[in-house]
Structure 1
Amino acid sequence: MTTTNVKFLNKDKSTFFPVLRTRIEQYFQENAICKSGGSPMVGKAIFMLSLYLVPYILILTNLFPAWAMLILSGIMGIGIAGVGMSVMHDANHGSFSTSPWVNTLFSGSLYLLGGNVYNWKVQHNTLHHTYTNIDQLDSDITGKPFLRLCDQQRLQKMHRYQHIYAFLLYGLMTFSFLVKDFKQIGEFNRKSKSKLTKPFSSREILILLAGKLFYVVFVGVLPLALTDITFGQWALGFLLMNFVAGFVLSVIFQLAHIIEEVHSPIRNDQGNIENAWAIHQLESTANFAVSRPLSWFIGGLNYQIEHHLFPSIGHVHYPAIAPIVQATAQEFGLPYYQKTSLMDALGSHVNMLKNLGRPQAGQIVSAQRVVCVPQPVASSQEV
């Protein structure tokens, strides 16, 4: 199906989201709380950036043996994941602070990770958050040549083993930053013709080029110029850093959307989704392991339902508003998918990869595509 301007049709005239939005507004008004992250976010940003930059500075001192520098590179990978989930993510959603310039400042931390702010906002804020789990529109599940992440994608023989090799590919996520952004300029410009995205301007392309040059100097040129490590040692550290970061980031995002309960909806003949947008988010998203320690490190991304419904609210508020969202969903007879533990969610993700890697009941396998007849999931867990 071609990528056209997709509409969400509230065919049942559901009032779920207006009611929920009013209740969330009342919560913030009654408690006199600002919706942004506020001061807790600043402290967290300092910690996460330090987790990335302090090991980097220690490496540049050239005071450590090669094996210690390798460990520091691994710590930098954890820092990259922390900055990506707990700092850059909120800032690019405008929920880090009430001040636009503060959001802009901390959104720029993405350049330290090798990414590009404009491209990320198009891919994540526009495509992923609007068209969650919709094939050919959600960049998080589309365009993965070795993975089949929804029923509408072509089934290939290698997908039978994707539950095994997927986690190796997850570790390559941040490596793709260096080339993926250039590739997506053309992709997003094509989609702009259908008004799904805005095209890249010359200014944004220049910013992208400057950002990539900065990252190459920052992560490659300076360590090689200021220390006595060999290119092979640097390459090993670079690989470890990015693999740790990519693995953590990919797994966390996958556990919210690629598990057994969630849906990958099919567009109708007109290319639209016959569902209200907010209900679509409930059906295509899940929470997992909603514990405060984990939530603190991963930027509240285990409260993915709340994040998708209210991305402009700082993640520090998700634990408080989650009961409101859950109660309202249950009141309207809507799903609220949640895995009780990280291992439970991980196991469900592996099962989903297995299911998507093999023909299922109701599927017809052709040379070009798997045609799926939707089946109810017997093992779904609604809480």
Structure 2
Amino acid sequence: MTTTNVKFLNKDKSTFFPVLRTRIERYFQENEICKSGGSPMLGKAIFMLSLYLVPYVLILTNVFPAWAMLVMSGMMGIGIAGVGMSVMHDANHGSFSTSPWVNNLFSGSLYLLGGNVYNWKVQHNTLHHTYTNIDQLDSDITGKPFLRLCDQQRLHKMHRYQHLYAFVLYGLMTFSFLVKDFRQVGEFNRKAKQKLTKSFSAREIGILLVSKLMYVFFVCVLPLLMTDITFGQWAIGFLLMNFVAGFVLSVIFQLAHIIEEVHSPIRNDQGNIENAWAIHQLESTANFSGHWLMSWCIGGLNYQIEHHLFPSISHVHYPAIAPIVQETARQFGLPYYQKTSIFDALGSHINMLKKLGRHAEQTVTAQRVVCTPQPVISSSQPIG
């Protein structure tokens, strides 16, 4: 099946998204609110970056015992997750600030985490947000050899146990930054020939190489030069930092798309999706309720429906616009999937991993039953 020029076909001529977009625009105009994050985002950025960099600086002072440095490494992992969810995520979507240079500045915080801005924009902004949960197009579910994340993927015996070992693999997410970005240069350049993405220029490849070398110097060479820790102690701290960060980031992102209600659509014979893009986002994405502090810490990513429909709006506005999205979906008889808590979402994610690890025919049957769009909300409880 060709993946060139994949289109979303609004075969039912739905006016859902134009109506919703008008209502969202009216909300910002009537309340005279800017769609970007503004000063709340700046304060959060300072806090999250400090959570990552302050422990790092304290480690470099070399005045703490090894066990304390290990604790600080874990804190750095939490800081990495915080920066990833609450700072660079909005900045790379252009919603951190109304100023492009401010967005560019804070999107560069991804380099401090070992990632690459251009690669992220291709993988996340272009592929994931456009082709959410579509096999071979959404990099978040494709190319995971030990995980089966949609029913179109090949089933292996090991997948029977993926609900048990998946969370160990989730902890490896940020480790993969060091090598995955290089591998994906070729992958994304091939997709560029299919007109799905833009290819990496020589300049971007140069930035990729230099930024990786700088990250290695920052996270490996400097600590070993400026402290008396052994290489083994450094390796344990590095492993802990990345495992904490990868685990938190992966779990939060997975709860939005790999749960029982949402589905992975199948392209037609022409390689297109027979659905309007906005309705596809509703059917392949879910929210989960939580305390405002939790939502603040994870960058509003429990409001994934709002984020996928309006990625250029800062997450600080999601609690306010969520009722508008929910009510509009209800009026159009469309699904608005919402779990009652993070634990409810986590349980559903584990159940989905179990289903996807079963025999292919059983999984497809279960998936078809679960994923038939229903004009019902998974939970009547509001988020926040």
Please tell me the residue identity of whatever aligns with 2:81.
A
Runs of 4+ aligned structure 1 residues displaced above 6 Å come to none
Deviations 1:66-118 (A, max 9, x none): 00000000000000000000000000000000000000000000000000000
Checking the alignment, whether the CA contact within 8 Å between 1:159 and 1:357 is kept in structure 2 is yes
Q: Name the CA distance, whole Å, in 2 between partners of 1:166 and 1:40.
A: 35
Specify the SS of the correspondent of 2:82.
helix
Cα distance, 1:3 vs. partner? 2.5
Cα distance, 1:220 vs. partner? 0.3
Give the length in aligned residue pairs. 376
Query: Compared with structure 1, are the counterparts of its residues 290 and 332 closer, same or farther at alpha carbon in structure 2 (3 Å cutoff)?
Result: farther
Cα distance, 1:9 vs. partner? 0.1
Gapped runs of 5+ residues in structure 2?
380-384
Specify the SS of the correspondent of 2:8.
coil
Partner residue, 2:34 = 34
Where in structure 2 are the equivalents of 1:54-203 lying within 5 Å?
Answer: 54-203=54-203
Checking the alignment, whether the CA contact within 8 Å between 2:2 and 2:270 is kept in structure 1 is no
Q: 1:382 and 2:375 equivalent?
A: no
TM-score relative to the length of structure 2: 0.96
Cα distance, 1:289 vs. partner? 2.1
Cα distance, 1:362 vs. partner? 5.4
Where in structure 2 are the equivalents of 1:11-30 lying within 5 Å?
Answer: 11-30=11-30
Cα distance, 1:378 vs. partner? 8.9
Partner residue, 1:223 = 223
Checking the alignment, whether the CA contact within 8 Å between 1:4 and 1:196 is kept in structure 2 is yes
Specify the SS of the correspondent of 1:338.
strand
Deviations 1:263-282 (A, max 9, x none): 10000000000000000000
Checking the alignment, whether the CA contact within 8 Å between 1:362 and 1:375 is kept in structure 2 is no
Q: Name the CA distance, whole Å, in 2 between partners of 1:189 and 1:360.
A: 32
Q: 1:204 and 2:200 equivalent?
A: no
Cα distance, 1:381 vs. partner? 5.7
Checking the alignment, whether the CA contact within 8 Å between 2:110 and 2:116 is kept in structure 1 is yes
Specify the SS of the correspondent of 1:377.
helix
Cα distance, 1:361 vs. partner? 4.9
Deviations 1:295-322 (A, max 9, x none): 1000010000000000000000000000
Partner residue, 1:368 = none
Please tell me the residue identity of whatever aligns with 1:313.
I
Q: Name the CA distance, whole Å, in 2 between partners of 1:12 and 1:290.
A: 35
Cα distance, 1:373 vs. partner? 8.7
Checking the alignment, whether the CA contact within 8 Å between 1:81 and 1:246 is kept in structure 2 is yes
Q: Name the CA distance, whole Å, in 1 between partners of 2:371 and 2:328.
A: 24
Deviations 1:171-230 (A, max 9, x none): 000000000000000000000011001110000000000100110000000000000000
Deviations 1:134-182 (A, max 9, x none): 0000000000000000000000000000000000000000000000000
Checking the alignment, whether the CA contact within 8 Å between 2:94 and 2:103 is kept in structure 1 is yes
CA RMSD of superposed structures (Å):
1.4
Identity, % of aligned positions? 85
Partner residue, 2:382 = none
Checking the alignment, whether the CA contact within 8 Å between 1:8 and 1:276 is kept in structure 2 is yes
Gapped runs of 5+ residues in structure 1?
364-370
Cα distance, 1:18 vs. partner? 0.1
Where in structure 2 are the equivalents of 1:328-367 lying within 5 Å?
Answer: 328-359=328-359, 361=361
TM-score relative to the length of structure 1: 0.96
Q: Name the CA distance, whole Å, in 1 between partners of 2:296 and 2:371.
A: 33
Checking the alignment, whether the CA contact within 8 Å between 2:66 and 2:229 is kept in structure 1 is yes
Where in structure 2 are the equivalents of 1:221-370 lying within 5 Å?
Answer: 221-359=221-359, 361=361
Cα distance, 1:359 vs. partner? 1.6
Checking the alignment, whether the CA contact within 8 Å between 2:133 and 2:141 is kept in structure 1 is yes
Q: Name the CA distance, whole Å, in 2 between partners of 1:207 and 1:74.
A: 28
Please tell me the residue identity of whatever aligns with 2:370.
V
Higher mean C-alpha deviation, range 229-238 or range 353-362: 353-362
Q: Name the CA distance, whole Å, in 2 between partners of 1:8 and 1:250.
A: 27
Cα distance, 1:374 vs. partner? 5.3
Specify the SS of the correspondent of 1:174.
coil
Cα distance, 1:372 vs. partner? 6.7
